[in-house]
Structures are given as C-alpha cells and as structure tokens.
Chains A and B, each alone.
Chain A
C-alpha cells in the first residue's frame, strides 16, 4: 500500500525534465506515428472490405523468400556496421589526436563523400570497380593481375559501397566522444606503470565505448534500409528488404503486403536494438545518468566478461608495444593507415571531378577530352538552379528544427529517470528504422489532406522527421560525458536555467550540437524518397532533380552538379569550423 503511494508520487514529479521532449514527441505523433499507424492497419485489413484479416501475414509466413531476404539484410547491415567500426575507429582516433585546427580540416575530407549524392557515389563505384573499371585496368595494365577481379556485382561490391557511405557517419559519431576523453587519464595510468596496450584497452577504449556503441547502432540501423547500393553494386544474392518493400508499393501497388513487410522490418530492428541493449548496455546511449552502483541492470556478468576480453586484448597486443616506442616517428604506420582510409573515402569523388569536366556526353573514364560544357548546362538551367537553392533552404531549416528538437529530447532523457525513458528513446530512433519509402508514402497521404504536398514546409517537416534521430543520438552521446555538477555549481551561484543552458551546457556541447546540425543538413540535402513524394514534381529538390535526370539518361551534368555542390558545401563546412572552435 504505502509502497505504491511512494512510487506514484515521484512518478508525477519525475516527469519534470521530460517536458523538453514534448515538441519532438508532438511532431513525431502527428507526422510519424499517425500516418504509420494507418499504414500498419492496412496490413491486417482486407483491401476491399476493410474487415480484419490475417491473410497478408499468412502469406508472409508461407513465403520463405522474405525470411531469407531478411537474413541477407541483417548480414549485410551487420558486416557494414562491423567494418565501419573496425576501419573507422582508428581513423577517428587519429583525428582526435590532432589539434583542433588540423582535425576540422581532416574531418572535412572525411565528410566529403557524405555530401555527394548516394546515386552519384554509387555510379562512381561502378566506374572504379567494374570489370573494365579503373582499379582493374590499373592492376591488369601493371601486370599485377592476369585477369580482372570480380570487385562488384557481389557481396564485396555491396559492402564496399555501403561502408563507404556509412563510415563518415561512424567516424563523426565516435569523434566527439573521443575528443571529450581526458588524455591525462592515460598519462596517469602510464605513470603508474601501465603498458601502452593496457592504457589503450583498459583506459581509453572503455571511455570511447559509448561512441563506438552509438556508431555501431547508427550504421547498423541505417544500413538495414538501404536499397540503392545493393541494387547497383550487388549480384543475384544481394537483395535487401527495403527493395522488396519498394517493389510492393511502387510496382505491385500492394500496400497491404508492403505494410506487412514494413512491420516485419520494424519488428526485426526493435529486436536487434533490444539484443544490443542487453549485451552492450545500450541504455547508456539514451543519456541516462549512470546508475549509482555503476552496473547496468542484470549485466554484471557481461560486464565482467567485457573486462576480461579487454584485459586479454591488452595482453595480446602488448608484445607489439615496443614497435610503437616513445619515438613520435613511430606513429608513421598509424598515419599511413589513416591516409589510406581517407583516400578510400575520397576516391569516388576524385572520379567525379574529371567526369564533370569531360568533353564526352557519356560517363567514360578517363574522359577523352576536357570542357566546361556541363557546367554551362548547369548554370544556364533555371531548373537546376532553383532545385539547388531549394535544397539549401530546406536543408538549413531542417538542420535548425532537427537540432533543436532532437537536442532538447536528448537533454530531457539525460536528466530524466522516468520509466518512460525506454519507450521515448525507441520512438526517437524510430524514424531511422522505418524505411523511408514507408514514411514517405504515409506522409504523402496525410500531407495531401492538409495541403502540405508540394510545399517547402512539407519538405522541411518530412526531413526533420528523418534527421531527428541523428541529432538525438549525437547530442545524447556527448551528454553522456557531460558533468551535471557544473549545472549544480552554476545554480548555487544563482544562474537561471536559461543562463545555464546558454553559458554552460551549449558551449560544452558545441561540438556535438554542430555535428548534429551537420548530420541533419546532410540528411535533408541527400534525401530523395520523401522528396519524390512530397515535392509532387513541383517543388523539386536537388536529389530529386538528379534522380529524374539519372533515371533516364546518365550524363556528366550530374558530375558537374556534384562538384558545384561540393564546393559550396566545403565553404559552409569551413564556416562551421569557425563556430565549432
């Protein structure tokens, strides 16, 4: 009796910090849950009569091919996330060791592929990896290979394309966490006799783990929804679930079954998140304050296991310590790796540049001659210019809205101990998990009814929806290492809440907030699916315009547009660099 009274009173009280999450929740409720709810209802409805039916789910159960495709989807997403972490961690580490000036310059390079449309990147990989592609020609011409290697139209091609697309996201998620690690801890461990390996595996790595977990989750979940890369770089064995959903909606117009497949995807992802949470203590990611006893519930054994593994890793790598002596030049190998990784990220863009200046009307590589004709075509086309302007406008608005809404939500969850944290956390990530085509179709339905189709507002709302999870996670990850005692200290000195936010919290979180805004900007800038539906062909964004052009004729205007966009974006990035300092 008394126990329940005790629980219920604080519960109302504990909702306190959670009010900050309300704006984001409101947006999600109206433009995400409601339209999706209607779509999911389709999955259990007879399309003719509207009566409840299980026939669509029965069909799913009877058709093994979808379960295999689900398996393939998981495998590809897992491999992508694993390689992103494996290849991205050293790169992020390398970046975090730089002074902030060089770091932001190098981060720019890492970000570059992010600014190139998925479509263009994918086609660039086709040019690089083809049987007669740049790589194979190089290798066979120099006699290193007798016959061309099969680099794409198989799983390898898909993984290369997806890791390339996702690695910047992984690096950018890990970097703010690494930047906030106090290097004196490793130093202190060193003075107490810890070896290099021990300092890394027992001190540094566990401290960077929240960033690694965030990056792994983000890349895994985002990869689940991919369809362009497997369609163009995959072989007959690489079909992903998003492709089958698109087929159902666009070609077969079977929304009931599409809704079933979409539900399957959402359910599978939630299970994955749940498992991840169990094993890696992902709840930490939501920004929850660490538990008093320092152990996530029920995972003390796992934690001990983790400690054991890290100790083993430290022991295993210790023989190599002497290769990396105190001599600073020994960092050479590390830097070479990082440079190779940067080249991997930038290579497709290096292909796009010469193509933009080609004199041919095909995407022949290397170009037979050079000209500026494709730039002329771009700059003399009001269609392209209008689309470019609109994309920038929409992306800026999206970056602002998503950062504010996602940031407030992250702040709320970080301060709250409510039992609603879990569900809210899941909901905030949900737009990332649900395939964009499903969100787009649901949104179109709703927006058509309230007159938001073919408006910039509609585009901003749609894109904000998609960007919120990225902002939420990025800011949540930095908040993880935020020292809340600073707020208390400020409060004791008489600062109000707003003053604390402005003078203490925001400056300390600046790196994360700017990363979040950049993520949101890119998400909107490269977004195609929602644009296809919401633009209605009238409010064309840049990716939509590229898609329209690309679907019918591949010509170098696309490359020229990419180059112009890259240049403009580089300027923006350089400008934010000033802010980030």
Chain B
C-alpha cells in the first residue's frame, strides 16, 4: 500500500509551489507520516484549489498527510463498489447533493457527527448528517456580448428569437432544463417544485428545433461559448467563467440561476473514518474556503468566507450575496424521485 502511494506523494510534493518550503515541515513531521488520508476530488483546477484551501492547511495543522486522487465525473458507482467490496481506496470523496441522496438511500455514507457550533456559519442547505457542502455551483445563462448586444434579463429571453436572434445551446439532460423552461414560461423560482412537467415540455416544444447544440460535457460548454459556436447557452457558471477568463467576449446572467452544492462524504465502514471526519470538519472554515476561490469560480458555503475575498472576485461567485439572491436552490429530492422517469421521457422527447 505504501509503495503504491509513492507516486502520488511525489506528485503532490513536486506540484507544490515551493518544494523546498514543503520539504522542511515534512521532515519534521515524519513521526506522523503513517497518518494519511486519500482524498478524491474532481481533479484539474479542483485539485489545485483544494490543495491551497484544504490539503496543505490541514496537513500543516494536524500533521496528517493528504494524498489527492482524481475521481470519476460521477463517482456514485465507484463509491458503491468501494463500500460493497470494502476496498477503501478513498477515505473522503467529493459528492453532489444528488449523489448524497442516492448514496444515503443505499446506506453507503458514514455519519459525520459534525459539531453544530463549528458549522454555524455554513449555509444550512450545505450541512447534512453525512455530507458537508464546501462549494456552490450554479446553472446560469451565458451569452456572447459580440453577437447579443442587448443583455438578456432571464430565461424568457432565451426563447425570444425575434428580439435576440442567434444560435442557442442547452444541456442534453432534463435536470435544470425543465426548470429553465418553466421559468421562461413565467413560473416564479419559489413555485417551481414539484415541477409541472407537461408544461415544461410544452414550453420546450417551442424551441426544440431551434436549439443548435445539445451539449453533454462541461468542457464542451466552455468550448461552445469560447469559440463563438453558439450565442446563448445554459450551463454551469465556472465553465463559462473559464471561457471569460480565457478572453471570450461573454457575460453571465445570474437572474434565474439554479444552484446546487458539492462537498465531502466518507464511504461507509471506512476504518479511517475518524481521521476523515476531522478533515471534513476542517473544510467548513471560512478562511479555508476563501482560498479555493482563487482557482475555482465556485461559491464558498461558509458565507463568512467573503470577509476574505476581494470584491472583484466575489462578483463572479455564486454565493456572493448579490448573486445568491437572484437564484434558487435546485430541488434534489424532486429529482431523486423523478430523475429516472424524466430522463427517459426527455430522451424520448428529443428523438421525436
């Protein structure tokens, strides 16, 4: 086991901004070297952001080494296998609210026993007995400022081809897409759930043939906006921010956005559960969460984090107060109950 972890240790070590700075404390803490956690994050910029925000500060504070690995895009199947076969290759893993419900139902999550006083500043939607949300992502509208000269105010504008002609793209998935249709049809965000599915499909019928691209992967949505392939697109804010950071002439519309939460969960029966809990609780702190916003355009769940974030950066984060008030929380329980059936109906509708 130690041997198989070696490459990861090397990777972590060398990736650190200052290898020398890191080497010294590691020598000092050799006594604790056997204490370590394998943490699965989504990889890429997440690893970078979490390293600064969570992994390094946690190791500095406790002496427990963190080895990060990249998890699969949808880790629920892997999670299930890990628990079922008791091969705990990960000690902690990031999961979404919807994954939490699935994993909870199947009894695959370890309780976190969070100290309520320590997470009192965290958004209540992010605190669960078996998951602590650390970042908020949001489904929003983005548009190309070169071709769409008048800023769209909400989802109704997406349907308005007379006023705002241009190529459109939606996600090839009923989740969020049905909500978007209902909001475009005039349903207030607070009245969305339970979704009036028939009404949503009727509204989608209006623009079905005018959607140029049904995107499937997050990176694809970045590329669609960046390359000017489409002029208006619904998708995740950080993906669009990546295009904007890369110089694309685009803007995000927060109005009518749907947000959701991602955070840490621990596989059931993990022998290192106590260490894992310690790590998860650590990630609830405001100062730590503020640090990942340098690399990730996601919102901290601990709203006190904004005390440590500059105003420019805060403006593009989903949980900054100005943006948050324009958006609503997507209902995971609704989707948990209806996802399979609605996915089938949506796929059938697409083929018609």
Asked if B228 and A235 sit within 8 Å, CB to CB, the answer is: no
Chain B proximity of A58: nearest CB distance (Å): 14
Q: Kindly state whether residue B351 has any CB partner on chain A within 8 Å.
A: yes
Instruction: Evaluate contact between A251 and B74: CB separation under 8 angstroms.
Output: yes
**Known contacts A253-B80, A538-B4: A554-B219 contact under CB 8 Å:** yes
Q: Does B240 contact A (CB under 8 A)?
A: no
Contacts of A68 in B (CB 8 A): 348, 351
Which of A172-218 touch B at CB < 8 Å?
none
B85 CB-CB contact with A under 8 Å: yes
Taking CB as reference atom, which chain A residue is nearest B44?
A552
| Binary contact track B246-273/A, C-beta < 8 Å → 1, others 0 | 1110000000000000000000000000
Count of chain A residues with Cβ under 8 Å from any Cβ of B? 61
Would you call B172 an interface residue if the criterion is a C-beta within 8 Å of the partner chain's C-beta atoms? yes
B340 near A254 with CB under 8 A, answer yes
Contact of B25 with A by CB under 8 A: no
Q: How close is A130's CB to chain B, nearest CB, in angstroms?
A: 5
Provide the A488-525 mask, 1 if CB < 8 A to any CB of B, else 0. Answer: 00000000000000000000000000000000000000
Is A239 part of the binding interface, using a Cβ–Cβ cutoff of 8 Å?
A: yes
A553 with B45: CB separation less than 8 A: yes
> B223: which of A123, A383, A549 is its contact (CB, 8 Å)?
A123
Tell me which residues across on chain A come within 8 A of B149, comparing CB atoms: none
Residues of B within 8 A of A299 (CB): none
CA distance A244 to B348 in the complex (A): 12
Give the nearest-CB partner of A535 in chain B. Answer: B69
Give chain B residues whose Cβ lies under 8 Å from the Cβ of A533. Answer: 72, 78, 81
CB distance from A555 to the nearest CB of B (A): 9
CA A448 – CA B90 in complex, angstroms? 13
A236 within 8 A of B: yes
A553 and B242 contact, Cβ closer than 8 Å, known pairs A362-B226, A383-B11, A548-B44: yes
Are A382 and B77 closer than 8 Å at their CB atoms? no
What does the 1/0 interface line of A280-314 toward B look like (CB < 8 Å)? 00000000000000000000000000000000000
**Closest residue on chain A to residue B75 by CB atoms:** A250
User: Taking CB as reference atom, which chain B residue is nearest A549?
Assistant: B44
What chain B residues lie within 8 Å of A536 (beta carbons)? 69, 89
At the interface with chain A, which of B53-61, B187-195, B208-216, B322-330?
Answer: B208-216
When the two chains form their complex, are residues A253 and B340 in contact, meaning their CB atoms are under 8 A apart? no
Interface string of B288-307 (1 = CB under 8 A from A): 00000000000000000000
Residues of B within 8 A of A554 (CB): 219, 222-223
Binary per-residue interface labels of chain B (75-110) against chain A in the complex, 1 for a CB within 8 Å, 0 otherwise: 011101110110101100000000000100010000
- CB distance A239 to B350 under 8 Å? yes
Q: Which B residues from 107 to 122 make CB contacts under 8 A with A? A: none
Q: How far is the CA of A487 from the CA of B218 in the complex (A)?
A: 58
Q: Is B278 an interface residue (CB 8 A)?
A: no
A20 interface residue per 8 A CB criterion: no
Given contacts A236-B214, A250-B74, contact A551 B85 (CB under 8 A): no
CB distance from B128 to the nearest CB of A (A): 18
A217-241, CB under 8 A of B: which get 1 and which 0? 0000000000000011001110100
Contact call B216/A232, Cβ cutoff below 8 A: yes
Distance, CA A198 to CA B267, complexed state (A): 69
Residue B197 at the chain A interface, CB threshold 8 Å: no
* 27 sampled A-B residue pairs with Cβ under 8 A: A69-B347, A69-B351, A126-B223, A127-B227, A131-B229, A133-B227, A232-B217, A239-B347, A250-B77, A253-B80, A360-B247, A363-B223, A386-B10, A441-B77, A448-B81, A448-B82, A455-B4, A537-B89, A537-B90, A538-B8, A538-B38, A540-B70, A548-B70, A549-B43, A551-B42, A553-B222, A554-B222
- Which B residues form the contact surface with A (CB < 8 A)? 4-5, 7-8, 10-11, 14-15, 38, 40, 42-46, 69-74, 76-78, 80-82, 84-85, 87, 89-90, 102, 106, 167, 172, 208, 211-214, 216-220, 222-223, 226-230, 242-243, 246-248, 339-340, 343-345, 347-348, 350-351
The 4 closest A-B CB pairs, nearest first, are A537-B69, A552-B44, A448-B85, A250-B74
New A-B contacts (9) at CB < 8 Å, excluding given A72-B351, A253-B76, A253-B77:
A123-B223, A232-B220, A250-B77, A363-B223, A382-B7, A386-B10, A448-B85, A538-B89, A553-B242
